[in-house]
Amino acid sequence: MSDFQGMEDLLQDFLVEATDLLSGVDNKLVDLEKTPGDRGLLNEIFRGFHTIKGGAGFLNAAELVALCHLTENLFDKLRNGEMNVTPVLMDVILDATGIVRDMFGALERGMQPSAADPGVMARLRAALAGELTAEPAKVAAPAAPVAKPVATAASAPVGAEPDWVSLHQAVTGVVPSAPQAVPEPAAARSANDGEVAAVVNAAFGRRAGDRPGTPAPTGRRDAEKGRDNSIRVDTSRLDQVLNLSGEIGLTKNRLTSLRADILAGKSDSDTLHALDAAVSQLDLLVSDLQNAVMKTRMQPIGRLFQKYPRIARDLARNLGKDVELALVGEETEIDKTMIEDLSDPIIHLIRNAVDHGVETPDERMAQGKSGKSVVRLEARQEGDHIVIMVADDGRGMNAERLRAKALEKGLITDEEANTLDERASLNLVFLPGFSTAATVSDVSGRGVGMDVVKTNIQKLNGSIEIRSVQGKGTTFVISLPLTLAILPVLLVRLAEQHFAVPLSMVREILPIQQEDIQEVGGRATMVVRGEVMPVLPLARLLGWPQKNHPQYGVLMQSAESSFILAIDNFAGREDAVIKSLDDFRPKGVAGVTTLSNGQIVLILDMKELLGSMGDTRGVSRSSLLGNVARAA
């Protein structure tokens, strides 16, 4: 049962906003380490904790309030120049920030956070008293205030009651007739928790209570779903949507009246002209509306990037490395659902860069590099794609070593190892069970990361590639479609039926000449610029009889392999609006889309089609070319 019944809405708002705020604070802390005296930074961090504390108070999250209160006081002293930022102090602050994050976690699960680690609280108090030593353990035990209940410590106002009363008089100019006429903040706060909760419930639980007999939403599950599915949209963007739908309504009215005219037999050139103009306008408005609606789903990727500098810093410190994470292109906008799904893959890539990519300062110095390394996390839009790069300036990847490792682990055969070129060798890291770290560290190197990264990126219809120069560094390049709602497809034809295949997999289209088809190991193959590719007829994948000799091949690149999809013809590319088939989903069909002429086209899920075939190595030349080949 949730500790926040009736307050779910407030809690969600708070968590969304405060989590953003905390990420900002985390980043500023990383900056603060570089410029310890920056008053502006200190002020902003102070305000961050202050704001979180204020919100937490309304949620009755006493432990969170207590922790933020201490941290905030510390920053108050720092920003006023009463204290200076020291590495020991930094550690305490970072620990405190970590606990705040944990507490958010508890809140997310619908639980009041439990008390912060008393050691950290004690160190915060010691720091406030100017007694923080390099060895926190010594301070922890004797610190007196720990024994005090945290909640009261946090909310104890500096000014006691009499001061408040007289000050209130000073403020309002009214002499209260009775002392209780002046609401005491201390009294209000010391009110019994249940009472406060009841009042807050009454204030915020309205929505659930509006309909009598409807119980308030129970459990966190519902609330959590709500949070995941909610989105913050700039009101100006919503206004644009509203505006456009209004315009479309007007144009619809125009068309309705034109239809009446035309049905009444009026078809002079003026009427037809007006019809033409109205349809063109509708065309424009609808595409504008689509764009506007799409934009409401777009969020700056900076929201995601924010949390990484801290992760990189902590990791680098643990490993004794000096790493700066540079963020570029934070304003790049990306579909909200993708932001969430990208979070873990990017963490993996950054961990990899810091752990494996970057050398220790000594190694770097020995090679004439600067001791501090820079890992760049960059996002930008390229046409209808978003490109995200994680680039380090470390040691680069050694293709030879990767091959040897894969061989040793039995992930590839001797024969395969010999045929792998540089790029293919780098891609070995995406194989499940691959890990090159000589020793398994607790941060990366369990070999579970990279293949998961690749799978997750592919789920988003994206791709990932590696560029690496030995001694200079490694760059992982993720390429993603702008949105998942619209899929650029290539329309291919088999007999009289059209099918759509995701354009992201298509590399090129080639004509298939009979003499180009060669049989290798009993399979039909084609050599494309020196590379041998299996030829898979679409008819075979669909389980159709092969009637004609396929005229064209579409060179497709999927996760595991490249192959040529043999088809009868192709009809061009189209931006398909995907309609999913909810209840009925044939194998190998990702969804359907409607062409401009009203024809319904199946969008093929190539991966599933290939999987259903079992053996993806292809068919024999004769079965591909059939009678045609024999006749030749």
Partner 1 sequence: MSDPKMKFLVVDDFSTMRRIVRNLLKELGFTNVDEAEDGVIALQKLKSSEFDFVVTDWNMPNMTGIELLRAIRADAALKALPVLMITAEAKKENIIEAAQAGASGYIVKPFTAGTMSEKLNKIFEKMNQKAA
Residue 84 CB, shortest distance to partner 1, in Å, is 23
Instruction: Determine, following the binding rule CB under 8 A, whether residue 534 of this chain makes contact with partner 1.
Output: no
Query: What residues numbered 144-183 form the site for partner 1, per CB under 8 A?
Result: 157-159, 163-164, 167-168, 170-174, 183
Considering the complex, state which of residue 167 and residue 231 has its C-beta at the smaller distance from partner 1: 167
User: How far is the C-alpha of 450 from the C-alpha of 461, rounded, in Å?
Assistant: 17
Shortest separation between residue 63's beta carbon and partner 1, angstroms:
14
Q: Does 104 bind partner 1 (CB under 8 A)?
A: no
Q: Edge-to-edge, what's the strand order for the sheet holding 523-528?
A: 506-511, 552-557, 562-567, 531-537, 523-528, 517-520
Taking residues 6 to 45 in sequence order and writing x for each that binds partner 1 by CB under 8 A, - otherwise, the string is ----x--xx--xx--x----------------------x-
Give the residue, chosen from 28, 42, 55, 356, that forms a contact with partner 1 under the rule CB under 8 A: 55
Identity of the amino acid at 567: I
Quickly tell me which residue has 């409401």 as its tokens: 296
DSSP state of 520: E
Look up tokens 């060798």; give the residue.
425
- Within 537-576, the residues that bind partner 1 by CB under 8 A are none
Question: Could you tell me the smallest distance in angstroms from the CB atom of residue 133 to partner 1?
Answer: 29
Task: Burial-class residue 538 by CB neighbours within 10 Å (0-12, 13-18, 19+).
Answer: buried
Does position 185 interact with partner 1 (CB under 8 A)? The reply is: yes
Which own/partner pairs from 161-170 qualify as long-range (CB within 8 Å, at least 24 positions apart)?
161/186
Q: 229-237: long-range contacts (C-beta < 8 A, 24 or more apart)?
A: 230/12, 230/16, 231/296, 231/297, 231/299, 231/336, 232/16, 232/299, 233/296, 237/292, 237/295, 237/296
Spatial CA neighbour of 104 closest among 177, 171, 14: 14
**Which one of 57, 309, 396, 462 is in contact with partner 1 (CB under 8 A)?**
57
Select 51 or 569, whichever has its Cβ closest to partner 1: 51
Q: How far is the CB of 168 from partner 1 (least distance, A)?
A: 7
**DSSP assignment of 352-393, as one string?**
HIIIIISPPHHHHHHTT--SSEEEEEEEEEETTEEEEEEE--
Q: Which of 36, 58, 427, 578 is the binder for partner 1 (CB under 8 A)?
A: 58
Binding to partner 1, residues 205-224 (CB under 8 A): 206
- Secondary structure (3-state) at 510: strand
The single residue among 28, 53, 307, 369 that binds partner 1, judged by CB under 8 A, is 53
Could you tell me how many residues of this chain bind partner 1 (CB under 8 A)?
40
Q: What's the closest the beta carbon of residue 178 comes to partner 1, in angstroms?
A: 13
Q: In angstroms, what is the minimal distance from the CB of 99 to partner 1?
A: 19
Place of tokens 């619809």: 252
Smaller CB separation from partner 1, 173 or 586: 173
Of the pair 235, 596, the CB lying nearest partner 1 is at: 235
Among 196, 216, 293, 592, indicate the residue that binds partner 1 (CB under 8 A).
196
Residue 339 token pair: 């932001």
Q: Is 83 left (phi over 0), alpha (psi -120 to 50) or beta?
A: beta
Binder among 199, 260, 277, 366 for partner 1 (CB under 8 A): 199
Q: Smallest gap, in angstroms, from Cβ of residue 241 to partner 1?
A: 21
CA 5, 7, 9, 12 dihedral sign is: negative
User: Are 283 and 320 a contacting pair, CB within 8 Å?
Assistant: no
Interface with partner 1 (CB under 8 A): 10, 13-14, 17-18, 21, 44, 47, 50-51, 53-55, 57-58, 60, 157-159, 163-164, 167-168, 170-174, 183, 185-186, 188-189, 196, 199-200, 202-204, 206
